[in-house]
Structure 1
Amino acid sequence: MHLWQQLKSPFAALGPRHYLVLFMAVGTTTLLFGAIAATISALTAALILIGFSDKSSVQRDTDTITGLLTRDAIDDVMSNHLSSLTNNTHCGAIMLEIDRFKLIEERHDRLGVETIYRAIAQRLTDILRTEDQISRLDGPTFAIALAPSKRLDLEAAIQLSSRIQHAMTDPVEIEGVNTYFTVSIGFALSDRIDSVFGSTLLQAATNALIEAQRHAPAAIRSYSPAMRSRIATCNKLAQMVTHALDNGEITAFFQPQISTRSGQLTGFETLARWHHPSRGLVPPCEFLPALAQAGQMHRLGHKMIDDALSALHRWDAQGFKVSRVGVNFSKDELRDPTLVSHIETSLINYGLSPDRLAVEVLETVVADNADDVVIRNLAGLAGLGCRLDLDDFGTGHASITSIRRYAVERIKIDRSFVTNIDNDDEQQKMVAAILTMAERLGLDTLAEGVETIEERRMLASLGCGHVQGFGIARPMAPWDVDNWIHNYRAQSVRGAKIRQKVG
């Protein structure tokens, strides 16, 4: 017993269950060999096995990067919280995720990203009560199990979520550089869900997070039963639109652009349209968000590029003079690391010079602090020789510096400035100011949304270079464009002859 007293104290924390194992190991080995050395050896082996068993258990329940709980462990904690509720207490679940996480991944290596994970874990630990438990789930997503409390209501949960967001505003230093980020948060409370279980409460918070991410960055949303059906509808639409892309139901339509000076056709804008088997044409405002949710925007971008360049190649073969074709690119598409190489390959395959492709980007894309991948892609496309058009100009806050930085060649004036411009003096002044700025910067101009001959004439008198809209032609399917070009050319010839006779 003297030997046990000596060995026991360093391992007292192992508890009574482990003492029994140690006594068994000591006793058995002493009887068999009668040697202290063998006893010590067996004791060491037993301790190694015990330590290994405990360590494996801890690893299963603990995230190796942050030391927080794993998903399985937080499920158990949430269930325990629910089982301990009383009539006047509530518990809750919070889900939070880093906004625009892909940008952070692109800027930092794995160790840098893990530094951010650990910073978030520490900040959450500092804010929360000791009885609240935190888990890191997949990647940049964290879950919090809020312990039962009489004070946990909707207002308290919102205040806590705001405190969490505020705590994330301080930068994290990575290799001497400050990295800033925000988080979006969704939460659910036990008293606002029917038939609640640990997993269902966490799922409700996840649904609230999904809703928050639709309004990101730095959004907060509380779970409501309506979210579940809305998210189910969105998920179904995402599956449908992905299937449509796979089956070639989403194709390019083309809307013509003409010169206000000569009346000649100068190009087409490429617009995505979905030919739904039963609904007919589905407008892009309905299916583009679903494609973005499904992570398929890069595939749509490649599809539009191929359709546009294929059409331009065909028009060349038919003798139609179409100077260029424009393709819209969202910020998600501009983050595609294969974008420049895909466009370069496609231009070569169709035998087209790069200056015949206009890359159209929203003003908000260059007004924001664009990330490194977007900047590289825009610079790469400019390096190829592609044109850059700034779309919906006047709706964002693009500076002259950003226009210069991205080598913009043409601005497209948003339709909100064009509608009824022939009768609105204020709109005329604003458009005139935009056109004056463009002229001094050496930029070409195009007005969108032109619907009447009066609007077209007014824009021409103000000095706008090109127009586009229903007043010229609606977006057309590829098989309708050829006839339109032929008819428009014929009308232009007849008009020229009439002007010659009058002259």
Structure 2
Amino acid sequence: MAVVQGAEQVKKRIRAILTAPHLAAFLPATMIFAYWYGGEHLMVLVAILFPGLLAIGGTLTRPSPASPQKIDATTGLPKRTKLIEHLDFGFMPDAEYEKSCLVLEIDEITKLADQLGPVGIEHVLRIVSGRLRTALRETDLVCVLDVGRFGFSIDKRQRVDLEATLQLAARLQAAVSDPISLDQTRVLLSSCLGFAMPGRSPEANGEALLSAAESALSFAIQSGPGSIRAFSNGMAPRVGRIEHNRETLLRALDEGQIKPWFQPQVCVKTGRITGCEALARWQHPTMGLIAPGAFLPAIAKAGLLERLGEVVLYGALSAVRDWDNEGINVSTVAVNVSADELNNPTLSDKIKWELDRFDTSPERLVVEILENVITQTEDDVAIHNVKALALLGCKIDLDDFGTGNAAIASIARFNVHRIKIDRSYVTHIDTDIDQQNMISAILTIAKQLDIGTVAEGVETHAEHAMLATLGCDHAQGYSIAKPMPAETFLQWALTHEQKRTADVVVPKLA
């Protein structure tokens, strides 16, 4: 890259000499000299050769045509190659400024794309990309790295330190979080961001700097929605999303690399643990903890959703048995059931067999079904499975409520026990009156149908407090606890209950 750029600089200087206006003044003098030295014949020869040599020199020193940059069709932004080239300039000896690299990804972008559909997600991405461009200086660059993932090259000017970079990161996240109107509804987004300063780059080139920023982003994603992380030397560089093949995924499922972690659900008013949700996590032997968004789509693509369901169910019921043996009663554990599993005629029998195997009461197993599965399915097998599980005694939760336009009749038909309010309605509920009104309407519907409510993605104590004020039953999110392995959940539950009990004020007798 540096050699090519140096050659271009030499060609530019030679071309500047050949095309300079004063060079034309030498032509008459050259003609006279040729006539004096060689007579009329030499003068004619020079008259022919001189312009020809200039033309050839101009052609040879013409700048190489810029390779057509691949442009993202949705946003109109350049892609990864352009970003790396821009970052490379910051490492050149004569560079005016070094470059910092930031990478931002919209939280749960895969899930969001499924909810909004192709037209909706393209509309959202176009608006977000426009806002991000507006938030930058003219000399800075924003590119598309993947669906919902953007990379930035930022001039590291004087006094641009860690604090200034954090302020820029917050400004970019704020641009993403502004509400977006879509089909008379509002879409609220959050984002994670990772960044790398040039002095921290593993190597002095743009590829390494971008890899470092993406590594920081992966740690931010693991820390939860809205997180920001800076690259440090202890982080292993990663580039983009990795495509995992079916053989690798199957081995990870069979060897216990992929297994359930557990996120607690608590009573909004009292803080008492009322259950937990089992969420698939991949602890890779060399890559460390892989974010769900980086492997769940690959599992679906490989046709392994049913195998994943078996692994998660086994791990969930094993954890319940172990917690019971330790004297911790977690009343329910929720597992997600995909559309592929629902269309398997033997699903209800398989779950009944697993419950009998672990001697677990069906009432302690919550089966979570996505709202869009209910709205889209007319399959008799799926309907039979849901009804059979409800008759068995399992509880049915309707997940991501508010994103699939489920009819009230569908809720009744599927014997729904609780609705889980999607995090897009919970975000900013403490400050946004429209969000509060939406939650109030959902809670009113639930009350009329005599079903429970669980708010997902509760990220702040202020959101938790507002949910209590509005009358939501249960809450789940990072403000309470992150998903954790079964052993860690046990310790967390013991500590949480001890603290909750200690906080209860016992009235004194008169």
Tell me which interval the TM-score lies in, with the shorter structure as reference length: 0.5 to 0.7
* Cα distance in 2, alignment partners of residues 443 and 502 from structure 1: 39
* Cα distance in 1, alignment partners of residues 509 and 293 from structure 2: 46
2:419, 2:452 within 8 Å by CA — same for their partners in 1?
yes
Out of 281, 294, 305, which is 1:286 matched to?
A: 294
The alignment's TM-score, normalised by the length of structure 2, stands at 0.51
- CA offset at residue 370 of structure 1? 3.3
Q: Residue 420 of structure 1 corresponds to which residue in structure 2?
A: 428
* Cα distance in 2, alignment partners of residues 502 and 250 from structure 1: 54
Partner amino acid, structure 2, of 1:257: Q
How many residue pairs match? The answer is 274
Q: Residue 441 of structure 2 corresponds to which residue in structure 1?
A: 433
- CA offset at residue 492 of structure 1? 0.7
* Cα distance in 2, alignment partners of residues 295 and 234 from structure 1: 18
Report whether the alignment pairs 1:456 with 2:456: no
Q: Residue 375 of structure 1 corresponds to which residue in structure 2?
A: 383
Q: Residue 504 of structure 2 corresponds to which residue in structure 1?
A: 496
- 5 Å-filtered alignment, 1:167-316, equals 236-316=244-324
Q: Which has the higher helix share?
A: 1
- CA offset at residue 246 of structure 1? 1.9
Q: Please give the secondary structure, in 2, of the residue aligned with 1:493.
A: helix
- CA offset at residue 336 of structure 1? 2.4
Partner amino acid, structure 1, of 2:301: Q
Cα deviations by residue, 1:134-154 (Å, 9 ceiling, x for unpaired): xxxxxxxxxxxxxxxxxxxxx
CA change 1:434–1:278 in 2 (3 A) is same
Partner amino acid, structure 2, of 1:266: T
CA change 1:236–1:443 in 2 (3 A) is closer
Cα deviations by residue, 1:395-436 (Å, 9 ceiling, x for unpaired): 111000110110001000000111110100000000000000
Q: Between the two proteins, what is the percent identity of the paired residues?
A: 47
- CA offset at residue 269 of structure 1? 0.3
Q: Please give the secondary structure, in 1, of the residue aligned with 2:295.
A: helix
1:276, 1:282 within 8 Å by CA — same for their partners in 2?
yes
CA change 1:487–1:502 in 2 (3 A) is farther
* Cα distance in 2, alignment partners of residues 348 and 467 from structure 1: 30
- CA offset at residue 491 of structure 1? 0.5
- CA offset at residue 281 of structure 1? 1.1
Partner amino acid, structure 2, of 1:370: E
2:459, 2:478 within 8 Å by CA — same for their partners in 1?
yes
Cα deviations by residue, 1:66-118 (Å, 9 ceiling, x for unpaired): xxxxxxxxxxxxxxxxxxxxxxxxxxxxxxxxxxxxxxxxxxxxxxxxxxxxx
2:242, 2:294 within 8 Å by CA — same for their partners in 1?
no
Q: Please give the secondary structure, in 2, of the residue aligned with 1:376.
A: helix
- CA offset at residue 502 of structure 1? 13
Q: Which runs of 5+ in 2 are unaligned?
A: 1-112, 119-240
Q: Please give the secondary structure, in 2, of the residue aligned with 1:388.
A: strand
1:234, 1:290 within 8 Å by CA — same for their partners in 2?
no
- 5 Å-filtered alignment, 1:467-482, equals 467-482=475-490
Partner amino acid, structure 2, of 1:263: G
Partner amino acid, structure 1, of 2:412: R
* Cα distance in 1, alignment partners of residues 417 and 348 from structure 2: 18
Cα deviations by residue, 1:118-174 (Å, 9 ceiling, x for unpaired): xxxxxxxxxxxxxxxxxxxxxxxxxxxxxxxxxxxxxxxxxxxxxxxxxxxxxxxxx
Report whether the alignment pairs 1:326 with 2:311: no
Q: Residue 360 of structure 1 corresponds to which residue in structure 2?
A: 368
Partner amino acid, structure 2, of 1:465: D
Q: Residue 387 of structure 1 corresponds to which residue in structure 2?
A: 395
The alignment's TM-score, normalised by the length of structure 1, stands at 0.52
Q: Which runs of 5+ in 1 are unaligned?
A: 1-213, 220-232
* Cα distance in 1, alignment partners of residues 365 and 509 from structure 2: 38
Partner amino acid, structure 2, of 1:267: G
- CA offset at residue 237 of structure 1? 2.8
Bigger CA radius of gyration: 1
* Cα distance in 2, alignment partners of residues 502 and 363 from structure 1: 51
CA change 1:501–1:365 in 2 (3 A) is farther
* Cα distance in 2, alignment partners of residues 473 and 234 from structure 1: 28
